[in-house]
Amino acid sequence: MEQFLISLNAVLPFILYMAFGYGSRRCGAASMDFLRSLNGFIFKVFFPLMMFDNIYSMDAGMHLGRFFAVCSVGSVLLVLLFGICFVPILTKDRRQIPVLVQGVYRSNILLFAIPLTRNLFGDGPVGLATALVVMIVPLYNLAAVLLLEAYGGRERSKMTTLLLHVLNNPLVKGVLLGLLFRLLCIRVPAVLMAAIRQFSQATTPLALFVLGGTLQFASLRSHLKLLSKVILIKLILIPAVMLFAAQHMGFTGMESFVIFTLFATPVATATFPMSQGMGADGQLAGELVVLTTICSVITLFGWILIMQMIGLF
């Protein structure tokens, strides 16, 4: 019973935040225009503050070991390669291929990995999850851009333009600013840091509220069979393989869980606007985000319960 409650407490906040957002839109308290505006504000202001706070406040003794970092990056690249080889078997539509490959390898670790780690292990290991997010998110984005450039219908961009887009990303700015303050030992006044931390703590509830509010189910039927195959691979098969591998490579339970979040969390919401803007199948991308978000609440609960039962943490 205790294991069940721990698992439930880890994912229940995500359910409530998204349900509140969905209910607010359905009853007319929040319009779609409002949610889109709020989403942009969260992305440009709240997420950078969260990244700055997590990096600035990171325990000095918490760092990514070289072996852990190499294994994390290597596992993402392996899953990416698997997606590139496997997805063309499912569909020959060039506008769908980059979307579904992202559905296999690209996870919403920014929104799920850090709060899940905090819910299960407390604030101490959050620095490890944050450091991994800092390292993996740029890899996700770069791979997505290259895929969309290769398969999408939009005119290809110059590499310098792509690099500028990456550097201009608000998340990257938050990361770089946090690293700068740490490296130069710049102390933020306590009053200001308290305000930054409060904004940082509001990021996940607000972002999930918006995500829940923007969920739409009307157009799912046409792609349901295709999406169900990708979701099975994304949320069940790949996490099982990676969790098994992490345990047999000598990682601690906490390290194994952080690696697990790279693959078991829903598809990153940025998949939708990026796919739509670069000539891929934007509708399919939106459906993929919706379904993986809903299904992941169930699968994450199950995975955490299993990990509790086998004594992983």
Angle between helices 66-90 and 126-151 (to 10 degrees): 30
Q: How many domains does the chain have?
A: 1
Q: What is the pLDDT along the chain (313 residues), one digit of tens a residue?
A: 565 666 677 778 878 888 899 899 999 999 989 988 888 888 788 888 988 887 787 765 556 678 888 999 999 999 999 999 999 999 999 899 999 999 999 998 877 888 888 888 877 667 778 778 878 887 887 788 788 877 865 555 566 766 676 677 677 788 789 889 988 889 999 999 999 999 988 888 888 888 788 777 766 677 888 999 999 999 999 999 999 999 889 888 888 998 999 999 999 877 877 787 677 887 788 789 888 988 988 899 899 889 888 887 7
Per the structure, the complete domain to which residue 76 belongs is given by 2-309
CA 183 remoteness from chain centre: 27
Can you say whether the dihedral through the CA atoms of 160, 161, 166, 167 is positive or negative? positive
**pTM of the entire predicted model:** 0.77
**What's the CATH code of the domain at 282?**
1.20.1530.20
Count of beta carbons in the 10 Å neighbourhood of residue 192: 9
Task: Compute the C-alpha angle 197/140/204, nearest 5°.
Answer: 25
Distances (CA, A) of 59 to 4, 106, 107, 111, 195: 30, 27, 25, 21, 20
